[in-house]
Amino acid sequence: MSCTKKCTIVHLGTRLPLDRTILGAGRNQQFGGWCEFPKLPKSVGLIYCYLKTKTGRGRAVSNAKQILAMLRSQAEGDQEQFYSIALQVAAGEARQGHRATAEEIRAAVDAARFQLGAKSSVPISFSRPRGDLDSLLDLREPGIRLADVVLNTSIKGHLDAVVLQQQRRDWLREHGKTPSRRLLFAGPPGSGKTMTAEALAGELRLPLFVIRLETLITRFMGETAAKLRLVFDEAQKRRGVYLFDEFDAVGSNRLATNDVAEMRRVLNSFLQFMEEPSATDSLLVAATNHPSLLDRALLRRFDEVLRFEMPRPEEVRAIIKTHLSPMKYPKLIWKAIELSADGLSQAEIAHAAGEAVKEAILSERNQISTADLTRQLQKRQGMRTVFTEEKGHLG
């Protein structure tokens, strides 16, 4: 059985019929038959066939450039770009008054995205930055998602809204709007800012690029701003999450008495770059432990400013439970554990739980006791005391 309309592709500038030897099979009951698509993922092949059968001759998807762009995006492994083009077709259909077709195309894209997220597949490595960018950007492939990070309700709500806008950015652009993409994370060390940036990238299935401040900031006039320009140009071309950690090194107040003219120029450049529109809607995440040091002009440039705090008692429990796998933990005295964890950051609590698990493994036990956890948490508290005492001596 074949498609209700003969599918074609553009190959080396020539329109050729879809051939079983070029593409592979994917059953399409909804659209009336089989579409031949092997080198493309099945869900993507079905969308392609769907677009061909649901749009008539002379309509948007029949444009050779769009078809070629869709196939190229798959050859490059960029499924989000494929979906973006499909949604552009949906927008074209809607503008021509074909609302039902537009909604069906969107539904097909949503179903394909869900199918991709639900299936466990072999991870495909993101390509590393090249040339000058190799020393400026540290590529990290996200290993976690937002569900793996313990966040308070307020922060989670804000991030869920950002994720939704990013996932449906094409819909927003149809109405002349752009998704939120510039985020400022502020909070004490170890409160989960960097982890949350990684989880955000994982949730959106995007690469995480950490800007290396040690190579970005130099003592030569104009060089730092030029490197910053390279980073923003890359964000314009390559969709991802770009993290400026220890952001106060770049965004400190221009009126500070100990500031130098070069850093003021760098901040001015940063402010200008932030105002530029982005075709890729790459996320820019700035994280700081000292928000009071930041220039006030930055506040209106960020779409979201999120304040991270030390974990509350209920969050302490969630963090510890997350990091006790594969151990059992019957009858834990949570009051004692929460008291021992008071004042510790999310990273410190997670580290203490991990140490308790390692200790149990080496002792050939499969259970964690309250004493195991309180001992490791008090050890972390003791490490904090060392730093406090050292600071007192220096003062």
pLDDT tens figures, 275-293: 888 888 999 999 998 888 8
For the cut 70, the answer to whether the pLDDT of residue 35 exceeds it is no
**Domains parsed from the chain with CATH numbers:** 8-118 (no CATH), 133-307 (3.40.50.300), 313-394 (1.10.8.60)
CA distances to 145, 289, 341, 395 from 389, in Å:
37, 21, 20, 10
pLDDT reported for residue 260: 57
Q: How confident is the model at residue 256 (pLDDT cuts 50, 70, 90)?
A: low
Span 372-386, average pLDDT: 89
Which pLDDT does position 124 carry in this prediction? 42
Lowest mean pLDDT among 13-17, 93-97, 147-151, 196-200: 13-17
Q: Which residue has the higher pLDDT, 292 or 203?
A: 203
Residues 6+ apart with CB under 8 A from 332: 368, 369, 370, 373
Which range, 80-94, 241-255, 300-314, 377-391, is most confident? 300-314
- Looking at per-residue pLDDT, the higher value among 93 and 305 belongs to 305
Enumerate the β-bridge partners of residue 208: 140, 241
Which pLDDT score, from 0 to 100, does residue 223 have? 80
Check whether 116 has a pLDDT greater than 70: no
Rg of the chain's alpha carbons, rounded to an integer?
Answer: 26
- The amino acid occupying position 27 is R
Contact between 341 and 349 (Cβ < 8 Å): yes
pLDDT at 188 over 70: yes
Please compute the mean of the pLDDT values over residues 346-354 and round it to a whole number. 91
pLDDT over threshold 50, residue 12: no
Query: Do residues 321 and 356 make contact, with C-beta atoms less than 8 angstroms apart?
Result: no
Cβ burial 142-161 (10 Å sphere, 16+ → b, else e): beebbeebbbbeebeebbee
Res. 91 pLDDT band, cuts 50 70 90: confident
Question: What pLDDT does residue 307 have?
Answer: 94
Q: Which residue has the higher pLDDT, 251 or 92?
A: 92
User: Dihedrals φ, ψ of 152, to 5°?
Assistant: -75, 165
Instruction: Compute CA 323 distance to the chain's CA centroid, rounded to the nearest angstrom.
Output: 22
Q: What share of the chain is helix, strand, coil (3-state, %, to 5)?
A: 55, 10, 35
Residue percentage of the chain with pLDDT more than 70: 70
Q: 1-15, 77-91, 166-180 — which one is most confidently predicted on average?
A: 166-180
Q: What mean pLDDT, rounded, does the chain reach?
A: 76
Task: Indicate whether 15 pLDDT > 50.
Answer: no
111-125, 303-317, 323-337: least confidently modelled range: 111-125
* Rounded Cα gap, residues 82 and 80, in angstroms: 5
